Structure formats: structure tokens, C-alpha cells
Amino acid sequence: MPITPPKSHVPFMSDSDVVDRVLRHIAAGTTDRGTEVWQEPVENYQSEDRLAQELSVFKSLPTAFCPSIALPKAGDYIARTAAGTPLIVTRGHDRKVRAFKNACRHRGAELVAGKGCAGAFVCPYHGWSYGLDGALLGIPHQDGFPDIDKLANGLVEVTAIETKGIIFICQNSEQDEANLHAHLSGVPDVLAPDQMIFAENEIIVEANWKLHLESFLEGYHIKATHKETFFPFGYDNLNVIEFSGPHARVTFPFQRIETLADVAPEDRQVSDKLTYLNQLFPNVVLAELSHHRTLGILEPLGTDRTRIKTYHLTKSETVGDKDTVLKTAARDLEFVNGTGQTEDIAMVSGIQRSLNSGANTAFTFGHFEPAIVNFHRELAERL
């Protein structure tokens, strides 16, 4: 079934329509196919100049920073580097989320690290203090700074947008807010206030960020890479692939989806019959798994290293007591992380080691990899 990415932010298909397409593929022995073959130069995974341009794209778009429920209370904050910039994202007393550059206006010291809850941010170097709204509150021995304008020396704010259960940040303040919201209109409503963060982790992958992202965006590798883990439950090279503007969703069906063939469309429950992998352009993956949801943020640390910050959440409206829900979600996560992720990381790390061999001047993405083709086209257009 040939597919062509639309430029507009059309909604993804309903669960029942996805099931119908999967069942047609099973019957015909087919899969969704792209119409274009893409050659991506290997140099684009190695070039420092190219990486700098990519980070500029990161800064020009609203990119996910954390789930909304990671900051439930006034004063809650998370401090982390995004696209090379140290940031603080916090919830104010007015419940509004704000983001600031994590740099004191005196001499640039980082104010906080990690996550926590605070009534104000106090510089650990000289004690300058700032409110949750970024305003400069106090300067010890202020008479040593007789001409300072407190109003002009609050923390430097960057745009923060809270929508669809996710907090997004955009570091390019020149962007029109309407354009930022338009970019987010294709993001699916997956995260909800009734979900719980039951785990979060941060890992370093010794590979270019795009190599790791590509591993999420196709099922062509499932049989070869995951032959004893994911493949026994799924299919060989069978995916439904959709696009909403620059964003994509890849469906990985399980064999038990065939039990829905005789179920009325309105009664179909797909949560344990498939995995939805949403790619939020450019660097975020939002996975809808059987018993939990995962928000993963890829941050380049260089051309050959990537930090992945991941939040793991329970499903919305999950039936059962809290302990049972958490245990079920943890088992789901253990299977995914302990098998599939380990195997994927081994593959992309090996690709990274081969980049300097000269064996390839370009990588070829074919008709079974249209989500990767769409990603590279979207990135190239913005560069």
C-alpha cells in the first residue's frame, strides 16, 4: 500500500481503521510502502557543522521537555540541558509553566541541578535570588551594585507551551506563537493527568542521535534484530505508517491482533494488540505500549554520543488498584528495555563504529522505511 506524507497536520487514523489496514496486510502478505528511496550522506552523521545546524533546528521548534505531570505542584522544577542550553522548567504559583536559561544574571552560575521543589532559585555562588516567575528578588549587599536595574536582570525566559499532557520548550523567541502551536497540532493526545510516572531514566548511547532515532521508525529490522524477543509476538516487515505534518506514527502489530477480525469496530480494544510509535519531530519518541507509555527525548552530546532522557508512565484510565497497575507497567517496561532496546542500541552503536571505515558514502532508505525518509526530508528542508 503506497503512502505519501501529507504536509498538513491531519489526525492519525482511528484504532479500528488501523486494525482494518493491518488485517488487510496480513491477508495479502504486504505492508505500507513509501514511494521514494532516500540517500543520506554518511558525512551528515559525522559533521560538526551539520550537528550545529541540527541543534539550531531543535531551538527553532517546540520540542518536548517532560510530561506535564512531572511538575505537579507550584515550585516543582526540572533542570536539564536541551540543545546545548542549560534550562530550568518550573511551575509557578499561578500554575503556569515557565522555562528559563539556567544562568544567574550576576556571573552566570547554574542555579539548580536535577529536579526538586523550591520557593525561589538562589544562586549557590553569591546568593542572588529569583522568583518562580524569573524576577530578580534579592542581591546580598546590594549597595555594591548601585546602578543595577532589577527589572531588567531577571532570569532569561524561553517559550514554554503546555499542551496534550506535555511541556514543550522553544528557545528561539523570534518564532510566532501561532506557528509554534500549529507545529504541535499533529501531536496525538496520549498523555493525561490521571497517569503516573513510575520510572524515569537517562542513558548515553555511543552513536549519532539520528542513527538511534531511525531504529524506532521501521519494522523492517524486527525479524533479524529481534528474532527471539519481539519477532515471535509480531510479524516480519508489517507496519502501518502515518504522517501528520512533520510528525509520524508507526504501528507495530502483534499476532493477537487477528483476534479482532470478527469484533465490531466500536468494540475493538487494541492496547495489547499493537504498539504505536509516535515520532514528534525532530527528536522525541512517544510510545504507546501494552501497559505503559514512554516519552523519550534524544539530546545530541556530539556527533557520536546521544543522551536519552526517558519518562515511563502508566496508561490512562487503567483498571485496577494502584499497586497492580504499577507492577504491570513495570513488567511491561522490563521486557521492552531488557530486550528490544538493548538489541537496538547494539545495532546503532555498531553502525557508529563503521562510519569511519569508508565502506559507505551514503545510507539507503527504501520503500519499507518511509518514516525515516520523511524525517530526513523534513530535516533537510529546515536546514
- What pLDDT digit, counting tens, does each position of 252-308 carry? 999 999 999 999 999 999 989 999 999 999 999 999 998 899 999 999 999 999 999
Domains 15-59+189-382 and 62-174 share a fold: no
Please state the domain extents for the chain. 15-59+189-382, 62-174
CATH number for the region 62-174 comes to: 2.102.10.10
- Looking at per-residue confidence, does 156 or 323 come out higher? 156
| Residue among 107, 119, 106 at smallest CA distance from 148 | 106
Q: For the chain, how many residues are written?
A: 383
Q: Return the ∠ at Cα 312 (arms to 181 and 228), rounded to 5°.
A: 120
In the prediction, which pLDDT does 319 show? Answer: 63
Alpha-carbon gap, residue 382 to 38, rounded angstroms: 17
What distances in angstroms separate CA 9 from CA 182, 185, 297, 345, one per listed residue?
Answer: 8, 6, 21, 31
**Three-class HEC string of 213-244:** HHCCCCCCCHHHHCCCCCHHHCCCCCCEEEEE
- What pLDDT digit, counting tens, does each position of 161-206 carry? 999 999 999 998 676 777 888 889 889 999 998 899 999 999 999 9
In the prediction, which pLDDT does 332 show? Answer: 81
- What pLDDT digit, counting tens, does each position of 343-383 carry? 999 999 999 999 989 999 999 999 999 999 999 999 999 99
CATH number for the region 15-59+189-382 comes to: 3.90.380.10
Q: What percentage of the chain exceeds 90 in pLDDT?
A: 83
Alpha-carbon gap, residue 305 to 302, rounded angstroms: 5
- What pLDDT digit, counting tens, does each position of 57-105 carry? 999 999 999 999 999 999 999 999 999 999 999 999 999 999 999 999 9
| Residue among 187, 157, 174 at smallest CA distance from 64 | 187
- Per-residue burial over 42-57, b = 16 or more CB atoms within 10 Å of its CB, e = otherwise: bebbeeeebbeebbeb
In the prediction, which pLDDT does 305 show? Answer: 97
pLDDT at 56 over 80: yes
Alpha-carbon gap, residue 160 to 272, rounded angstroms: 34
Q: How confident is the model over 42-58, as a mean pLDDT?
A: 97
pLDDT at 2 over 80: no
In the prediction, which pLDDT does 1 show? Answer: 57
Cis ω on the peptide bond leading into residue 282 (within 30° of 0)? yes
